[in-house]
Amino acid sequence: MGRPIGDKHSIEVATFIAAHEKPFSHSSLNALETLKETLSSEYPIFSPVHSVELKLEGTPNQELPPQIKTGVSGFSLQTINKETNKPTWAIRANENVAEISCFDYDRWGSSSAKALKDLSVVLSTGADEQNPLIFLALRVVDRFIGPSQEAYQLNQIFNLNSRFLTKQVKQAGALWHVHQGWFESKSEFKGRFLNVLNLSTNETPAGIITTIEHTIRYHSDPEALSSSNNSEAYLRSIFDILHEYNKQTIRDLLNAKQLTAIGLK
């Protein structure tokens, strides 16, 4: 039987994402740089994200050397587990996207509280009325460790009646992948929720690793997702729904034993 990567759940990383219409302006980048001091106690590792732009010019009869332009397009912040030397939390604000990644996931209540608090700080710091949000998204990566390729069976992890599994997957053996997407809507919210679900397996020395990567994006009009909607309460109202969509999908995908193992039964 396969097993979740964690003791209480199967989540490797949960990422809370906010995308703007345009890349961060110069003034927004200057403001975001202050996060180095604002969040230094929680995210002591700070570094700029550099961009490289290659511009090719010329005519058929005249070749000009390429022009290379470098600059800072954003910033990253991390906190590291000193025992494993791996990140536990990370912030990345780059180009037009701000995201908070939790690699030390516990449960939704505690982990989302910190993520949304920090995301609210980042969005408020870099706020620009001329650069509204275009979507909010939650990406959750679940992993399960299974037996060797010879002993692999699909039902060790999955519910064989799941609507997200294709007929071909049930005949494909240990190594396969399925990528799919669909929209959903809620009457109380303007806009739509886009689900992108990637299911895959790969062979490792530890056995067959099954990965479930589910991204749920809330797309709405600029008025509903204005750059002024940076409060934790507003973010919570959206991300709780994204979380529910993720739970519904996981409940459909996994068999009863796995659901019990990760506390969703």
- Work out the average pLDDT over 22-40: 97
Tens-digit pLDDT profile for residues 122-179: 999 999 989 989 999 999 999 999 999 999 999 999 999 999 999 999 999 999 999 9
DSSP string, 133-198: EEEEEEEEEEEEE---GGG--GGGTB-TT-TTS-TTGGGS-S--EEEEEEEE--TTSSSEEEEEEE
* Type of residue at 61: N
Both tokens assigned to 139: 């990406």
Residue 204, pLDDT > 60, answer yes
Q: Binning pLDDT at 50, 70 and 90, where does residue 185 land? A: confident
Q: What is the distance between the alpha carbons of residues 123 and 220, in angstroms, rounded to a whole number?
A: 17
Residues paired with 93 in a beta bridge? 75, 98
58 conformational bin, left if phi > 0, alpha if psi -120 to 50, beta if neither: left
The pLDDT of residue 223 is: 61
The model's confidence at residue 7, banded by pLDDT at 50, 70 and 90, is: confident
What is the spatial distance between Cα 84 and Cα 9, in angstroms, rounded to a whole number? 19
DSSP state, 1?
-
What's the pLDDT tens digit per position in 51-67?
776 666 666 666 667 77
pTM over 0.85: yes
Report helix, strand or coil for 83: coil
